[in-house]
Amino acid sequence: MTKKQKKMLYRIVAAAVGLIAVVLLDHFGPALLLPVWPLYLIPYFIIGWDILWKAIRNISHGQIFDENFLMAIATVGALAIGEYPEAVFVMLFYQVGELFQAVAVGKSRRSIAALMDIRPDSANVERDGEIAEVDPDEVQIGETIVIRPGERVPIDGVVLEGASALNTAALTGESLPRDVASGDEVISGCINLTGLLRVRTTKEFGESTVAKILDLVENSSAKKGRKEQFITRFARWYTPAVVIGAVALAIIPSLATGEWTKWVEQALIFLVISCPCALVISVPLTFFGGIGGASKAGVLVKGSNYLEALARTETVVFDKTGTLTQGVFTVTAVHPGDGEETALLETAALAESYSSHPIARSLREACGRDLDESRVGEVKEIAGRGVQAVVDGVTVYVGNDKLMEDMGARWRPCHNIGTTVHVATADAYLGHIVISDRVKPDAKEALAALKRAGVKKTVMLTGDAKEVGEAVGAELGLDEVHAGLLPADKVAEVEKLLEEKSPKGMLAFVGDGINDAPVLSRADVGIAMGALGSDAAIEAADVVLMDDKPSKIAAAISIARKTIRIANQNIAFALGVKAVILVLGILGKANMWAGAFADVGVMVVAVANATRALKAD
């Protein structure tokens, strides 16, 4: 408990003891010939002075209709009609509920804060031959920092010296360490477990992974879902309606029967029962807990509106490379024309020597020798086709079937499963190379889990050849495969799928977050996969998976649906109990004690239920 919460606990205990003492004294009051009722004001003001003050202050600021006003008018009215014990008890019970709610919210915030406690306190930077401990904000791009075993990586960078294992659990939810060595990238927020690392920073702290993630989580509550917006609008109209209803209940029957005391009391009970605390508190707390539970599993959700969309997802569309497959290409076959395999590989590798594309890297690795880049002249990238390069003074074309068709080459179709890279000059077809990508180990189970979760359709969009796409689709059990697509074609396919889904259903697109930004933005829910250290993924997507596992998608949907289920439970329970006791109150069958349970008791149960959303199971 915080110091403020402890003070409230002491007030509750003091007021409870005072109430019991006055009730006992009231029992013997007639024999003692003492007027006991003024003594009830002591425990009443001990426990309720702040509620009364808030009500007065809010009224002065034009904020009349809130729970403080309802509790103040109800309990002061109870005192006015002689219901002294009830007035004190209602205020006491309300404060107990408020304390319970404050502790529950604090627990949720502490759990998320502990989970996301990834901001480093300092960075050890090398300056003028010495190591200085500075604030991470003071470290510039290109400086060298030293990370000792047990310390948190403060800023994104590249390892210059050393080898170690990094604990990435706070970012990915995975306990398996990640090994790094010289030349590898490291991202802020991870913990260095074993060796000493010297790292050259590649970003300022404000642009590093840890800063972006913290900003994302802290601002997630600003994007409210429909249920939260409904509760906000509901409370805005509900409270004034309740007050008007209570006034009507006090006046109209009293004019007809003349029993003013009876109907004023019923109106006060009506006010206590109607307090909307359970809804106003528990529903936002449920979504807050759901976002925290998802974070614990390595899934960052940018707002409760996206959590709601995830829960209604019925179509999931995947990019292939880097999403369902590992994105690690290897040369599996070489089919030269009239020359040798080695010469064909060398020509292709030289043409792709300046490209950072995974296929280009696989060609260079398969070549197995140092390439003399001085042999390469002008290089031209042809979007969606390949490259045109001058190698040893000859213009060479390296790319897919469409490139061969465009240049009118007499190319040979390939019957191997994989990505075909053709190599040709303006005068001759030199041959083709087959490159294959491997399916991720958990991809098949991930798609099966989505089906079990109720997802109606799974679709894959890829720029690869039809044969490659269909082979992967058959292996994984996808419902549809659309191959040979350019980025603009992927957007067009998503547009079609959006038209096909049901009115209440949602479409999620899962991509690597780097070259899929247009599709991520167009889908109802954009999910960036394997976004550890990817700025583009964190910026473009609505949901960010911090590791490379497709299985996290089904987990994210499960967490979202659990959160919505808890929110619905709280709404139904709160409104249902209040409706029953309101009717009983109007009929004179519910007293002030029942009214207190309908308000605070329901709130306590709803808040306790809401905290379940923090668990990621």
DSSP string, 363-429: HHHHH-S---GGGEEEEEEETTTEEEEEETTEEEEEE-HHHHHHHT-------SSSEEEEEEESS-E
Rounded Cα–Cα distance for residues 19 and 74 (Å): 18
Pairing status of strand 130-134 against strand 164-167: unpaired
Rounded Cα–Cα distance for residues 62 and 43 (Å): 29
Rounded Cα–Cα distance for residues 319 and 526 (Å): 12
The chain-wide mean pLDDT, for the chain, equals 80
pTM: 0.65
Q: What is the pLDDT of residues 521-544, one digit of tens each?
A: 788 888 888 665 556 656 667 888
- The pLDDT score that the predictor gives to residue 142 is 92
Structure tokens at 353: 């020597």
How far is CA 153 from each of CA 107, 161, 165, rounded to the nearest angstrom?
27, 15, 12
* Strand arrangement of the beta sheet that strand 123-127 belongs to: 130-134, 123-127, 144-147, 197-201, 157-161, 185-186
Other CB atoms closer than 10 Å to residue 120's CB: what's the count? 19
Spatial contact of 571 and 283, defined as CB atoms under 8 Å apart: yes
Residue 201 falls in which region: left (phi positive, over 0), alpha (psi -120 to 50) or beta: beta
Q: Cα 234 from chain centroid?
A: 25
Q: What is the pLDDT of residues 488-515, one digit of tens each?
A: 788 889 889 998 888 888 999 988 755 6
Name the CATH topology of 299-324+440-546. Rossmann fold (3.40.50)
How far is CA 44 from each of CA 14, 37, 286, rounded to the nearest angstrom?
11, 11, 32
Span 229-240, average pLDDT = 65
Confidence of residue 147 (pLDDT cuts 50, 70, 90): very high
Place of tokens 């901001």: 119
- The pLDDT score that the predictor gives to residue 457 is 93
Higher-scoring residue by pLDDT: 214, 562: 562
Pick the closest to residue 520 from 529, 506, 509, 533 (CA basis).
509
- The pLDDT score that the predictor gives to residue 268 is 76
* Domain edges within the chain: 3-113+221-287+562-614, 123-154+156-202, 299-324+440-546, 326-437
Spatial contact of 611 and 108, defined as CB atoms under 8 Å apart: yes
Rounded Cα–Cα distance for residues 25 and 14 (Å): 16
Rounded Cα–Cα distance for residues 398 and 379 (Å): 11
Which listed residue (50, 117, 156, 319) is catalytic?
Answer: 319
Q: What is the CATH number of domain 326-437?
A: 3.40.1110.10
Span 283-299, average pLDDT = 79
Spatial contact of 407 and 386, defined as CB atoms under 8 Å apart: no
Residue 144 confidence (pLDDT) above 90: yes
Q: What is the pLDDT of residues 393-425, one digit of tens each?
A: 999 999 888 888 888 777 777 766 777 888 988
Q: Give domain 123-154+156-202's CATH architecture.
A: Distorted Sandwich (2.70)
Exposure string over 64-101, b if 16+ CB within 10 A, otherwise e: ebbbbbbbbbbbbbbbeeebbbbbbbbbbbbbbbbbeb
Residue 215 confidence (pLDDT) above 70: no
| Residue 319 annotated to the active site | yes
